[in-house]
């Protein structure tokens, strides 16, 4: 399948799962209209969650950073969001993305707001990201993870892909073979 065809499918991607507590969870392609809800989700992240995702203290994002996170082409940059129905509306509670960084390789990143961690959301996100990556004929997903980020490492270990890790300067470099 050509990557051009995949990008259109990825841009319209949508699936429904269930969290560990049984709540319906929509996994779908990020839309530019999600800007306010994405910023609200990040606003609910603790300092620790932001540090685990960005490897530095982070409280604010520049317009350039926001544009990078929101304006994805669904070919070289794919982003999914996890949406729960709460308080009478849909709320983005997490997200996952990959950015192609070489021939057949893409770097992945995940984040789930603190209130919704431990519900299996990142596990659902990685399953769907893997599906899109395989359709795009990628060969491996890579990630940098802080060694103390045991929950993310568990998600990678349990995703069903062969995983290798190497440690360098306090960071674990994870490679998942598609």
* CATH number of the structural domain spanning residue 96: 3.40.630.30
Residue at 146 is within a domain: no
Question: Which ranges in the chain belong to alpha helices (H)?
Answer: 3-11, 35-43, 47-54, 63-70, 121-135, 150-157
**What own/partner pairs with CB < 8 Å and gap ≥ 24 does 8-17 have?**
8/74, 9/132, 9/135, 10/74, 10/75, 10/78, 10/132, 10/135, 10/136, 11/74, 13/80, 13/128, 13/132, 15/128, 17/124
- Domain-located, residue 118: yes
Using alpha carbons only, give the angle 99, 113, 126 rounded to the nearest 5 degrees.
Answer: 40
- Is there a domain that residue 147 lies in? no
pLDDT tens for the chain, residues 1 to 178: 334 344 448 999 999 999 999 999 999 999 989 998 988 888 887 888 776 776 666 666 778 888 888 889 999 999 999 999 877 788 999 999 999 999 999 999 998 988 899 999 999 999 999 999 999 999 999 999 988 889 999 999 999 999 999 999 889 999 999 9
Helix (H) / strand (E) element for 173: namely: strand 171-177
pLDDT of residue 68: 80
Residue 57 lies in a domain: yes
Round to whole Å and give the CA distance between 83 and 73: 20
- Does residue 169 lie within any of the structural domains? no
The answer as to whether 88 is a domain residue is yes
For residues 97 and 148, what is the distance between their CA atoms, to the nearest angstrom? 21
Give the count of domains, the chain. 1
Q: Per the domain annotation, does 105 fall within a domain?
A: yes
pTM for the model stands at 0.88
Q: Can you give the residue range of the structural domain that contains 98?
A: 3-138
Give domain status of residue 156, yes or no.
Answer: no
Q: In the prediction, which pLDDT does 93 show? A: 94
């Amino acid at each position: 399948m050509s990557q051009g065809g995949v990008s259109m499918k990825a841009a319209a991607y949508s699936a429904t799962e269930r969290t560990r507590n049984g709540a319906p969870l929509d996994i779908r392609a990020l839309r530019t209209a999600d800007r306010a809800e994405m910023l609200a989700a990040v606003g609910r992240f603790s300092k620790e969650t932001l540090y685990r995702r960005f490897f530095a203290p982070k409280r604010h994002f520049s317009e350039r950073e926001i544009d990078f996170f929101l304006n994805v082409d669904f070919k070289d940059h794919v982003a999914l969001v996890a949406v729960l129905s709460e308080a009478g509306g849909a709320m983005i509670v997490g997200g996952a993305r990959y950015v192609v960084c070489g021939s057949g390789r893409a770097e992945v990143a995940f984040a789930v707001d603190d209130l919704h961690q431990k519900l299996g959301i990142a596990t659902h996100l990685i399953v769907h990201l893997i599906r899109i990556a395989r359709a795009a004929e990628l060969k491996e997903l890579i990630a940098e993870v802080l060694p103390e980020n045991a929950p993310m490492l568990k998600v990678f270990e349990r995703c069903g892909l062969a995983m290798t890790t190497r440690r360098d300067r306090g960071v674990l470099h994870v490679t998942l073979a598609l």
